[in-house]
Amino acid sequence: MTAAERYPAAAVQAPELSPAAGEDRTVGRVVELASGLLMLLDEHGITRRLPLDARAQAGRLRHAVKLAVQTITAAPSSRPPAPASPDRAGELRAWIAAQPWATDSGPVGWVYLLCFRDPATGQHRPLRGNGAGGQFAGHYWGWADDLVRRIEREHRNSNWKGPGRLVQVALRAGLTFELAWLEYPATRGRERRMKSKI
């Protein structure tokens, strides 16, 4: 077993982003290491299996990496004359370009999925529609810039009259809900794509 196999994070060296200034060089190094770690988490399929809170924290780290990369590459004086390794620079650019937060425009917030549950058993239980079609709604996709407020003050509020009526209908039908999935940072465009996948 080689050192690279034992410590795979060390094997991924993101491109040289750091300018000459010492402080920026340190920031650049942290960005390289953080993006290398995030790449490996994605590559090994770990990100999507993380608990919600850890995934949210990974999302914040992605966002911070993106902002740092933008800042570093935007400053003309700090742009390195040539990347130390073009392949790795290309790899990082491709990874960033593939991230949902990098390709969407619009405000950034949380995309979330509520799963309707039976309060007695905790089992997934879809809402049965009263219409002739007998439609089922097992889940609710949403987007919010303030997730806690959205869930506690709006979804859990039986008098709420704003968007998300399906959740009030489910609660009135005796169901409860759980937060089943979470992504940050994410745009409304991301929410629409996730909705259309179901």
Burial 172-195 (b: 16+ CB within 10 A, else e): eeebbbeebebbbbbbbebbeebe
- Residues 195 and 140 sit within 8 Å (Cβ to Cβ): no
Shortest Cβ 181–Zn ion spacing (Å):
9
Which of 66, 124 has the CB closer to Zn ion? 124
Region for 6 from its dihedrals, namely left if φ exceeds 0, alpha if ψ lies in -120 to 50, beta otherwise: alpha
Residue 137 near Zn ion by CB under 5 A:
no
Helix axes 86-98, 22-43, angle to 10 degrees: 60
Shortest Cβ 113–Zn ion spacing (Å):
8
Which of 30, 115 has the CB closer to Zn ion? 115
- From residue 64 to residue 103, the character string flagging contacts with Zn ion as x (rule: CB under 5 A) and all else as - is ----------------------------------------
- Residues 22 and 28 sit within 8 Å (Cβ to Cβ): no
Shortest Cβ 195–Zn ion spacing (Å):
14
Q: Which of residues 110-129 bind Zn ion (CB under 5 A)?
A: 115, 124
Which of 101, 181 has the CB closer to Zn ion? 181
Shortest Cβ 192–Zn ion spacing (Å):
20
Rg (C-alpha) for the chain, rounded Å, is 21
Query: Which residues are near Zn ion by CB under 5 A?
Result: 115, 124
